[in-house]
Amino acid sequence: MEIKKILDSDIAGDYSKINDNFEYIRKTLDSHYASSQSTTIIIGFTGGCDVVLDPSATGHNEQISEALVSLPLGGKIILREGTYSFNNSVSLSSNIILEGMGNSTIITTSNSISAVFSVSGSNNKIANVRFNTSSSNVISLAGGGSYNIVENCSFLLSSGTSGSIWLSSGRHDTIKGCVFEGVPTAIIISSGDWHTIEGNRFISCSSPITSWGSSGGVTKIVNNKFEHLSSTAISHHSGHLVATSNTFSGSYSTGISMSSVPSAIIANNLFTGSSFSSGICLSSSYNVTIASNVFSSSSAISTAISASSVNTIAITGNVFGHTWSGGVSVGVSISSGSKANVSNNIFNNVLSHALATWAENFTISDNIITASSSSTLIHVGWIIVK
């Protein structure tokens, strides 16, 4: 009403305070927007909640969707302790925070649905929820939005037959502090860029991270833990990649696999465990730096770094094998490409080759190699250095 009086005054010809009036209206509208953003709806199964659910119902998603309708400009929904059963997807537009109480807030599905949460907008956050579902995707970030966050959630058993979290078309989304245990596919990035996968834990997953980036942005995979996998931990195709400070342990086939990457920085990762065939495997890529990584296993590592058709690659400051471990059969293998620099690395307990390269324009310098007398230390094309 106060804003209407001001507008009526201006229309009537009293322009003396129009600048002050405009500033007042702007601040009032900003305050209204901020108020709507701070609106919180508590949902649960006991009294004291804004929305009280029937524990025996199978469509708790309907009440959550109804609560979202009352937050057209955004706000916060808190899911109290309990098990919530979904029989359909819940859509999030923009500026919504959906927060559970940790592992005591559990979401299951009563039938097969495409996604538990389908996010179409930007600036949303889903946090502190435990998912135990058989839906195709648990959280779908495929609406082209940006700056969405999934944080401190856990995904168990068959959560997400096509991907526990699916990112597509958006930018600057973050998956942080989540646990994926026993899921077939944890995170799929099918398009978009500038996504961050940080501080998550992947346990006994078939396919933890599969990504296809774009040429315009960087996919960052940092400070994650990968344990006891059945295949490759990180599989990245096209798009720039930064993979740093990750830990790979237990048994797995390959730590990081890359192809058609315009640039990549792979640094400060620890590749360890009972057995793995290859730490890093890359092909058809450019401008790659592999630095300050450690490759160590209780059994012999087949090939720590394997590269083919890679142009401009620097492998520096890495440690391959340990004198007390199973050693490394081949430290670095570069089957084709050009402009390779292998320097300042430490190769311990080499069983076959510290370095085998057929690349053009290569530099090999200041490496420390310990091996059995029968090992070929450096194999360059058809030249063998012992």
Q: What is the CATH number of the domain that holds 181?
A: 2.160.20.10
95 with 198, same domain: the answer is: yes
Domain termination site, one of 184, 212, 240: 212
Which domain, by its residues, includes 293? 264-386
Whether 65 is covered by a domain: the verdict is yes
Examine residue 166 and state whether it is found in any structural domain, yes or no: yes
Kindly tell me the burial class for residue 327, based on how many C-beta atoms sit within 10 Å of its own C-beta (0-12, 13-18, 19 or more).
Answer: buried
> pLDDT at position 374, please?
55
From 9-13, 142-146, 200-204, 235-239, the region with the lowest mean pLDDT: 9-13
Residues 160 and 201 in one domain: yes
Burial 259-295 (b: 16+ CB within 10 A, else e): ebbebbbbbbbbbbbeebbbbbbbbbbbbbbbbbbbb
The average pLDDT across 93-113 equals 91
**Is 163 in the same domain as 292?**
no
- The three-point CA angle 364-370-373 to 5° equals 105
d(CA 124, CA 75): 10
Domain boundary pick from 193, 212, 231? 212
Residue 242 counted as domain residue: no
Residue 306 half-sphere exposure, CB side, CA atoms within 13 Å? 17
Does residue 248 form part of some domain? no
Q: How confident is the model at residue 376 (pLDDT cuts 50, 70, 90)?
A: low
How many Cβ atoms sit within 10 Å of the Cβ of residue 114? 12
Nearest-CA neighbor of 168 among 199, 151, 200, 145?
145
Distance CA(6)–CA(313), nearest Å, equals: 66
When pLDDT is averaged across residues 104-117 and rounded to a whole number, the result is: 87
For residues 154 and 280, state if they share a domain: no
More confident residue, 29 or 300: 300
72 and 107 fall within a common domain = yes
How far, in Å, CA of 205 to CA of 230, rounded?
A: 7
Mean pLDDT confidence for 206-227? 88
Rounded average pLDDT over 78-100? 94
Question: Do 32 and 106 belong to one domain?
Answer: no
- Mean pLDDT check: name the lowest of 31-40, 155-164, 198-207, 264-273: 31-40
Find the range with the poorest average confidence among 20-24, 219-223, 294-298, 311-315.
20-24
250 within a domain of the structure (yes/no):
no
Residues 195, 171 share a domain: yes
Q: Is residue 227 part of a domain?
A: no
CA torsion through residues 96, 102, 103, 106, sign: negative
The average confidence (pLDDT) of the chain is 84
29/72 same-domain check: no
Residue 95 belongs to some domain of the structure:
yes
Q: Is residue 234 part of a domain?
A: no
**Number of structural domains found in the chain:** 3
Q: Is 118 left (phi over 0), alpha (psi -120 to 50) or beta?
A: beta
| Pair (154, 14) in one structural domain | no
Task: Give CA–CA dist 105/322, Å, rounded.
Answer: 44
50 and 10 fall within a common domain: no
pLDDT over 60 (residue 282): yes
Domain boundary among the residues 212, 228, 244 is at 212
81 and 109 in a single domain? The answer is yes
* pLDDT given at position 257: 95
pTM, full prediction: 0.86
Same-domain pairing of 21 and 45: no
